[in-house]
């Protein structure tokens, strides 16, 4: 593909946020004391800065025009570039995806000591090779599912790349809602409900007991967390896979419910009577990604089963 202009989206490190932005006294004191609690934060900060510098340097070497911004500065959808490079970890990659329609995304893991970088194909040492392969079309973009959310008839801006969590805002409170799938309805009480893409099936959904899917699967999953069934109740809509043409709908019975999209940073109120409909988006995310990244988790779980 032709790469003439790039947007580099870089994260702000914990060090930058705590020390430079907020001047957090307790954090600074622990740094001065060389506390083990914050030692890794400084290491990760230095790794990140070095990676950002390496990315900028390689773009300049290949004479590719670029603009570099912090992810917190993004407000509007990204336009007028050929490629977005997210320098950070999975959080930066996911944040970038919320501002993209068709433009492809490349993740660069900026701190291997602190970030797993599930979605990151590149890191500082292999970035020059990966970028060159992209420019020569030796690496092709892949399309992975995202979820669209319609709240009370209004389409939400963000498309979920990993998962959606619907729950009470207080983690100790009961989540109450009416769940509807395929014409079937159930009034449920639980700790909340996960709705996950194949990409997100190795994350929170997996931890809650969901099934790991291939990254390019065309189905998505839902899973009710800790269902509060009374002795006479027998709910059927507790977990399952849905095809791409199926939707999942919920009506809130909570005064203080919330919708969390891809983690804690994107939150919408989901209060009494609110209606939410989730469907696979018509706009998959175009990205450069390792096609085997989800199977790594499956192999690990299969090995654990064999060792039991």
Which of 23, 280, 12 is closest to 146 using CA atoms? 280
pLDDT at 263 over 90: yes
Give the chain's mean pLDDT: 94
pLDDT at 300 over 80: no
Q: What is the pLDDT of residue 154?
A: 98
Q: Report the CATH number of the 147-283 domain.
A: 2.60.200.30
Q: What is the rounded average pLDDT of the residues 110-123?
A: 93
Q: Which CATH class is domain 5-140?
A: alpha beta
Neighbours of 185 (CB within 10 A): 13
Over the stretch 10-68, which tens digit does the pLDDT of each residue have? 999 999 999 999 999 999 999 999 999 899 999 999 999 999 999 999 999 999 999 99
Q: What is the pLDDT of residue 301?
A: 52
By mean pLDDT, which of 85-89, 111-115, 175-179 is the weakest? 111-115
Q: What is the pLDDT of residue 299?
A: 60
How far apart, in whole angstroms, are the C-alpha atoms of residue 229 and residue 212?
A: 26
pLDDT at 302 over 90: no
Q: What is the rounded average pLDDT of the residues 186-195?
A: 98
pLDDT at 206 over 90: yes
Which of 301, 68, 74, 278 is closest to 206 using CA atoms? 301
pLDDT at 252 over 50: yes
- Output the pTM of the full model: 0.93
pLDDT at 298 over 90: no
Domains 5-140 and 147-283 share a fold: no
Q: What is the pLDDT of residue 106?
A: 98
Over the stretch 118-140, which tens digit does the pLDDT of each residue have? 999 999 999 999 999 999 999 99
Give residue limits of the domains in the chain: 5-140, 147-283
């Amino acid at each position: 593909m032709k790469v003439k202009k790039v947007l580099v989206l870089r994260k702000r490190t914990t060090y930058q946020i705590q020390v430079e932005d907020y001047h957090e006294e307790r954090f600074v004191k622990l740094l001065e004391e060389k506390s083990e609690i914050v030692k890794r934060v400084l290491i990760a900060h230095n790794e990140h800065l070095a990676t950002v510098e390496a990315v900028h340097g390689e773009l300049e070497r290949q004479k590719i025009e670029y603009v570099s911004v912090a992810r917190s500065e993004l407000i509007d959808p990204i336009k007028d570039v050929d490629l977005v490079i997210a320098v950070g970890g999975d959080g930066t990659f996911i944040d970038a995806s919320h501002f993209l329609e068709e433009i492809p995304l490349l993740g660069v893991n900026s701190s291997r000591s602190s970030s797993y970088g599930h979605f990151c194909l590149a890191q500082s040492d292999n970035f020059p090779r990966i970028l060159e392969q992209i420019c020569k079309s030796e690496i092709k973009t892949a399309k992975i599912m995202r979820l669209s959310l319609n709240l009370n008839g209004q389409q939400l801006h963000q498309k979920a790349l990993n998962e959606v969590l619907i729950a009470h805002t207080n983690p100790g409170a009961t989540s109450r809602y009416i769940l509807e799938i395929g014409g079937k309805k159930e009034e449920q009480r639980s700790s909340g409900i996960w709705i996950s893409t194949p990409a997100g099936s190795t994350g929170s959904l997996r931890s809650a007991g969901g099934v790991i899917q291939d990254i390019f699967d065309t189905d998505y999953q839902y899973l009710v967390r800790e269902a509060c069934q009374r002795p006479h109740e027998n709910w059927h809509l507790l977990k399952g896979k849905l095809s791409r043409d199926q939707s999942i709908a919920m009506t809130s019975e909570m005064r203080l419910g919330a919708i969390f999209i891809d983690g804690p940073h994107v939150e919408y109120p989901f209060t009494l009577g609110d209606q939410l409909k989730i469907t696979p988006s018509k706009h998959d995310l175009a990205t450069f990604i390792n096609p085997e990244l989800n199977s790594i988790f499956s192999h690990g779980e299969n090995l654990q089963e064999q060792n039991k």
